[in-house]
Structure 1
């Protein structure tokens, strides 16, 4: 009888231990699923925080017929500018970032000079001789008056604390002519025919 009694106790202990292990495993799985969901949500939020986008509506200046938009997208430490214009004369046109978010003047001069937080000479972007942070360059316009340009750099940011990189509260200026990348301080690009303010 004692052997039977002990055997029954041993079997019961194994049964309850097995149940306990099954319950613990199920709870662990629930916790793991919750943790995984929270981790995925945190990653998604981080990605959303990393990506920023601003679209600038351009205004015609100096009695031009220019229309267009300029979109700035920041992702993974780089800013990409995508600009599309219509209403321009055929040929090459300069585009720059200027220091003031002010397009109130009819000729666009209220935007001030080129954005140049590093106090360099004007020049072609990336030149060893120096260039402004606003020296984007030139783009081509076809016979229908349409032109576009895409530009990517890690030397800009949207709303960061580094004033040498932050493009907020600056202006986009399109010129009637091409930038020669030599003449100081603006490349002799001619009349300002378009202006847009970079604001959130």
Structure 2
């Protein structure tokens, strides 16, 4: 009789252990499933653009656009092999750098139809107005900024894809219309997903 009670208790313990172990395994499995979903979430978009030299310049450079968690775009421009001084940088409306002088990129990207201006001062400015980048005596320079109102693949009024980054030989005066009188286009790169 005692042997039957012990066997019965062992059986109950075994069933309880199996039930507890199975439920824990299920919870761990669900945890793994949840974390796998988090990993599968869409990563932040970024686009890297190699600039081509234009107008007989020797310019080399890259421009990186990176989507931030707050919805803004981080812009990083890095240039080499150009004259020291200030050089205007803009986004132009057409993603075409085939012309020797960069004219195939069209005018500034301006979906809102406003005057050219200075983004740093607010007021009216083209979506493609970026500003001036200072190049040192070594022929290189960088520019970084965070831009609100640009997207990588958003609607027509914010999407930077299929447009071109243009670097000019001179400074943007921020007042001359329609483009700041910045001189020849010495660098061009198409903004496109690889």
TM-score > 0.5 by shorter chain:
yes
Q: 1:65 aligns with which of 58, 78, 81?
A: 58
Return structure 1 stretches of 4+ with deviation > 6 angstroms. Answer: none
| Paired residue secondary structure (2:166) | strand
- Is there any run of 5+ residues in structure 1 with no aligned partner, and where? none
Q: Note if 1:130 corresponds to 2:92.
A: no
Aligned counterpart, 2:88: 94
Q: How far, CA to CA, are the matches of 2:178 and 2:30 in structure 1?
A: 57
Q: Is the 8 A contact 1:50 1:74 kept in 2?
A: no
- C-alpha displacement of 1:32: 1.4
Matches within 5 A, 1:70-85: 70-76=63-69, 77-85=71-79
Larger-gyration structure (1/2): 1
Q: What's the counterpart of residue 15 of structure 2? A: 20
Mapping for residues 2-21 of structure 1, pairs under 5 Å: 14-21=9-16
- Aligned to 1:187, the other structure's residue is in SS state coil
Distance 1:16 1:154, change over 3 A: farther
1:177 to 170, 173, 176: 170
Shift of 1:19: 2.6
**TM-score, normalised with respect to structure 2:** 0.90
Cα displacement (A) at 1:13: 5.4
The gaps in structure 2 that reach 5 residues or longer are: none
Q: 2:144 aligns with which of 150, 153, 173?
A: 150
| Matched residue SS, 2:39 | helix
Aligned-CA RMSD value: 1.9
Aligned residue pairs, count: 192
Asked if structure 2 preserves the Cα contact closer than 8 Å seen for 1:58 and 1:70, the reply is yes
2:158 aligns with: 165
TM-superposed deviation, 1:14: 4.9
